[in-house]
């Protein structure tokens, strides 16, 4: 079954307030094999001119997942979790963010479209990341590919 694009775009996704934690950034650095000490050692970060550990380029995706219900829109739209793959991901950056900050993430479903006669469906979610003052930090765009093997193109 395909997603109703109007229903998807009207779905209210709640904003997320995420605390950027040093320990979490160190864990992320370890899990991604990061050897640059700027991402795990506060002193090394300060020597490089940063006030604290910087948030690495893709970690905004993880900050959004701080909300345990971040993917609940999938079930609200009856999307079969076994048929989804991450299709595309993009980030646009305005300023670096650091451990110790609180960031606000505002997600919304921006687009739903099909390809290959409906055998492949895409859902695009955009997220604005700002400081609590509203100062922009980054934008993220998440594109989910949903396969519909029942449709033969």
Partner 1 sequence: MTATSEIAVGTELPPLRIEPISRATLALFAGASGDHMPIHIDIDAAKAAGYDDVFAHGMLSMAYLGRLLTDWVPQEKIRSYRVRFAAITPLHAEPTCTGRVTAIDDGVATVALTVSLADGTVTLRGEATIDVR
- Nearest approach in angstroms of CB 109 to partner 1 is 19
Tokens at 151, concatenated: 């449709």
Name which of 67, 91, 61 is nearest 15 in CA terms: 67
Q: Are 53 and 22 in contact (CB under 8 A)?
A: yes
Applying CB under 8 A, does 27 fall inside the site for partner 1? yes
Site string for partner 1, 6-25 (x = CB under 8 A): ------------------x-
| C-beta of 6 vs 43, nearer to partner 1 | 43
- Nearest approach in angstroms of CB 21 to partner 1 is 12
| C-beta of 1 vs 65, nearer to partner 1 | 65
Applying CB under 8 A, does 48 fall inside the site for partner 1? yes
- Nearest approach in angstroms of CB 89 to partner 1 is 6
Q: Are 18 and 105 in contact (CB under 8 A)?
A: yes
CA distance 24 to 17: 16
Among positions 31, 134, 150, 152, the unique one binding partner 1 when judged by CB under 8 A: 31
Tokens at 52, concatenated: 């604290």
CA distance 15 to 106: 5
Among positions 14, 19, 32, 72, the unique one binding partner 1 when judged by CB under 8 A: 32
Q: Are 104 and 56 in contact (CB under 8 A)?
A: no
Residue 63: other Cβ atoms inside 10 A: 24
| C-beta of 8 vs 138, nearer to partner 1 | 138
Site string for partner 1, 63-92 (x = CB under 8 A): --xx--------------xxx-xxxxxxxx
């Amino acid at each position: 079954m395909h997603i109703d694009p109007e229903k998807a775009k009207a779905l209210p996704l709640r904003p997320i307030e995420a605390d950027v934690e040093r320990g979490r950034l160190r864990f992320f650095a370890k899990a991604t094999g990061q050897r640059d000490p700027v991402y795990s050692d506060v002193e090394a970060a300060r020597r490089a001119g940063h006030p604290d550990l910087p948030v690495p380029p893709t970690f905004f995706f993880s900050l959004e997942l701080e909300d345990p219900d971040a993917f609940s829109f999938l079930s609200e739209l009856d999307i079969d979790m076994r048929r989804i793959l991450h299709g595309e991901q993009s980030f646009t950056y305005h300023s670096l963010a650091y451990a110790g900050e609180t960031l606000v993430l505002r997600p919304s479903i921006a687009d739903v479209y099909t390809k290959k006669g409906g055998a492949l469906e895409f859902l695009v979610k955009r997220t604005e990341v700002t400081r609590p003052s509203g100062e922009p930090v980054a934008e993220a765009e998440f594109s989910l590919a949903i396969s519909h093997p029942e449709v033969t193109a």
